[in-house]
Structure 1
């Protein structure tokens, strides 16, 4: 695990909301991280499928983590989601973030939320305000 990956894992481990969601921050071979979550009853709505807010939170956090890999501390300005398929309980989800624009004041990112087999359940797109650098 790289120093940056360890920082991101530690950073999100201290985040009470990420811990509440029971999302795991997992280093990837390319030097980034992904979020993983197994859908449990507390993540579902009245229809027994994952609540859209959980998917949005996963996407938002995955994009924030991708910004951290670019040495940027960010907050969300705008977030949109496309939901392709419902996600039943016990599904293991993997959320990744990708930087599309790495600006000095704003960043544009996207997120894919898939299962281990690669099925795309949701896609997020976000604009983020850069608060500053992680390491000056």
Structure 2
């Protein structure tokens, strides 16, 4: 495990909502992060498909983790996710890629894929950088 991955895993231990929903970090590198969800009964909506909230949570975490790879602290400023299709079993992955990194904001694109790399959802998230002291940069 490299230093970036170790640091990210330590930070994510504090994210109880992500853990509660069985969402896990699979891979991280500068400006890039992949999360996975192995679909469980509690991951599904009343129609038996992955709940949209689980997909959105995965997307927000993948995007946020990609933003955090520069070592600074961020909060989600805005998020938009387009749901295209869904699945009932197997594994889904959210991949976040930094598209733009400014002094105080970061824009990250996210794709959620399912079986056979089928695109399930896509979107963008923006993050605002906050200094470790809690003041805005």
TM interval, shorter chain, is 0.7 to 0.9
**Structure 1 counterpart of 2:9:** 9
Unaligned 5+ segments in structure 1 are none
Q: Pairwise CA RMSD of aligned residues? A: 1.6
Q: How far, CA to CA, are the matches of 2:48 and 2:115 in structure 1? A: 21
Q: How far, CA to CA, are the matches of 1:67 and 1:2 in structure 2? A: 18
Aligned: 1:111 with 2:89: no
**Structure 2 counterpart of 1:62:** 62
Q: How far, CA to CA, are the matches of 2:96 and 2:109 in structure 1? A: 6
Q: How far, CA to CA, are the matches of 1:115 and 1:68 in structure 2? A: 25
Q: How far, CA to CA, are the matches of 1:3 and 1:71 in structure 2? A: 11
Moved >3 Å (runs of 4+): 30-33
Aligned: 1:126 with 2:125: yes
Q: How does 1:1-136 map to 2 (within 5 A)?
A: 1-27=1-27, 32-88=32-88, 90-115=89-114, 117-132=116-131
Q: Indicate conservation of the 8 Å contact 1:94/1:116, yes or no.
A: no
Q: How far, CA to CA, are the matches of 2:20 and 2:4 in structure 1? A: 23
- Count of residues paired in the alignment: 131
Q: How far, CA to CA, are the matches of 2:131 and 2:2 in structure 1? A: 21
TM-score by length of 1: 0.88
Q: Indicate conservation of the 8 Å contact 1:95/1:113, yes or no.
A: yes
Unaligned 5+ segments in structure 2 are 133-137
Using the TM superposition, give the Cα deviation of residue 27 of structure 1 relative to its aligned residue in structure 2, in angstroms: 2.5
